[in-house]
Chains A and B, each alone.
Chain A
Amino acid sequence: MMYGYEWDTTTWLTYTISILPIILIGLTVTLKAAAAGFAIALVLGLVFALLRRSRLKVISWTTAVVVEFLRDTPLLVQLFFLYYVLPNFGIVLPAFLTGAIALGLQYAAYTSEVYRGGIEAVHRGQWEAATALNLTRMQTYRDIIIPQAVPRIVPAMGNYMVAMIKETPVLSVITVLEMMGLANMIGERTFEYLVPLTLVGLIFLLLTLICSAGLHRLQKALPKAGIPMR
């Protein structure tokens, strides 16, 4: 029994139906973790991208090294690092938050590259026009560059969002009870892993298919010329 739901392992069908409510509770945790992680990745990635473009060599180089390091090391080890090392510095976070931060950090490295690509794809003439109009660097980014970069960025961002959803099961190793962690626990108690794991796999498949379809529609709906920021 878990969350007040009793399981019934007589046939695979009754088993599936009886554990579905538990797995769905896990699904909400999965989605929350992915949402929180993606929000962090979106903000932090932009910060990384802008720092990378800084005129100060020290800042841009340091950022490049940090981003490269985050990109080239496994999420699982980063997760363990945050989970076990942060408390040494007196930072004790709930497992869910640690997980979301780890997801966010890793994907910030990815999204920073997407931002960078999107920003660099904006035509040079736009920068020159902004200079000619005496706009500050801040205004140029806010009113000229970012609005035009967004439609180029959205598809890649969407792909990373889907990828992140599929990486959330890793959080189960630091005791976050998301879908797969729950499926594993059910398996441990009933000695019957196949049904819960298959169910979780199918839900992930469904989730990615829905997200991909939604992304496709969003991509079509975005104006090619750019979106106004104000």
Chain B
Amino acid sequence: MDWGAYLPMILKGAGVTMTITLASIVVGTLLAFFFGILRVEGGPVLSTIALCYTELFRGTSLLVQLFWFYYALPLVGLSFEPITTGILVLAAHAGGYGAEIVRGALSSVSTQQLEAARALNFNRFQTLFRISLPQAIVEMMPAFGNLAIETLKLSSLVSLISIADLTFTAQSIRNLTLDSASIYSVTLICYFAMSLVLMIAIRIIEHFVRRGDVFPRSAHS
């Protein structure tokens, strides 16, 4: 097999995979916090909407969601590039799982902390951003780390809606060379390497979160 010709293709595919994964993780995290906080703080109507969102994206299969949005969005006049659809669906999927992580961590903050906040006359907004979230976010980190790896793995499914990611590239090279063993081995190793990089990145972020750099402490604490 002529690696000189195929290696640049593989690297390009890996780049697309990484871009999609990172974009989905960022958008997914935003969705996760938005809907997770709504679940806990939203009152009856908003928390039900958030519940519907999480159940819908957690309960139906990702591949079904991808195809659904790929074929259905154009019907209602929303025509995106496949890559946008891919990122949005992956993000919404990750957001559904992430919202549960946020909800779980927020509800595990001890009630004494909330009572203390009330005693200090904090309003709901202050309680959330100064008491609950800074403590909960530390609890969330390992689960979000797993979710990020999961998103990287699931991003391979976007190859099925004709996005030229790593898996798609591997498929096209296989169709050219018919050398399945080497191309799929290299692809698996590429994914493994990307997972390791992602894991290290998460460890570094986790380190900063644990030090409390995300929510700076005020002069009093």
Report A's interface with B, CB cutoff 8 A. 69, 71-78, 80-81, 84-85, 88, 166-170, 172-173, 180, 183-184, 187, 193-194, 197-198, 200-202, 204-205, 208-209
- Segment at the A interface, from B2-10, B29-37, B120-128, B156-164: B156-164
Residues of A within 8 A of B71 (CB): 187, 193-194, 197
Instruction: Bin the interface of chain B by size.
Output: 35 or more
* Given A88-B180, A194-B71, A73 contacting B188 (CB threshold 8 A): yes
CA distance A168 to B67 in the complex (A): 15
Question: Looking at the complex, which one of B58, B170, B171, B196 makes contact with A208 (CB distance below 8 Å)?
Answer: B58
Query: What is the 8 Å Cβ interface bit string for chain B, positions 90-131, against chain A (1 contact, 0 not)?
Result: 000000000000000000000000000000000000000000
* Given A80-B171, A84-B174, A197-B71, A72 contacting B160 (CB threshold 8 A): no
Residues of B within 8 A of A180 (CB): 61, 63-64, 67
CA distance A78 to B171 in the complex (A): 12
The answer to whether A205 and B60 have CB atoms under 8 Å apart is yes
The answer to whether B171 and A166 have CB atoms under 8 Å apart is no
Residues of B within 8 A of A77 (CB): 156, 167, 170, 184, 187-188, 191
* Nearest CB of B to A165, in Å: 8
Residues of B within 8 A of A184 (CB): 67
Check: B154 CB closer than 8 A to any chain A CB: yes
Residues of B within 8 A of A208 (CB): 58-60
Beyond A72-B192, A74-B167, A166-B59, list 16 extra A-B contacts (CB 8 Å). Answer: A69-B188, A69-B192, A72-B153, A74-B154, A76-B156, A76-B160, A77-B170, A78-B188, A81-B180, A81-B188, A166-B61, A168-B61, A194-B72, A194-B75, A197-B71, A201-B68
How many residue pairs bridge A and B at CB < 8 Å?
111
CA distance A192 to B203 in the complex (A): 46
The answer to whether A72 and B67 have CB atoms under 8 Å apart is no
Main secondary structure of the interface of A (DSSP, over half): helix
Q: What are 28 residue pairs bridging A and B, where the CB atoms are less than 8 Å apart in the complex?
A: A72-B149, A72-B153, A73-B192, A74-B154, A75-B156, A76-B159, A77-B156, A80-B167, A80-B184, A81-B185, A81-B188, A166-B61, A166-B62, A167-B61, A168-B61, A170-B157, A180-B64, A180-B67, A187-B71, A193-B72, A194-B75, A197-B68, A198-B68, A201-B65, A204-B60, A205-B56, A205-B60, A208-B58
| Nearest 7 Cβ contacts at the A-B interface | A84-B180, A72-B195, A74-B156, A193-B71, A169-B63, A205-B59, A81-B184
Question: Looking at the complex, which one of B64, B185, B188 makes contact with A197 (CB distance below 8 Å)?
Answer: B64
CA distance A80 to B180 in the complex (A): 9
The answer to whether A204 and B72 have CB atoms under 8 Å apart is no
* Nearest CB of A to B83, in Å: 17
Q: Which residue of B lies closest to A199 (CB)?
A: B64
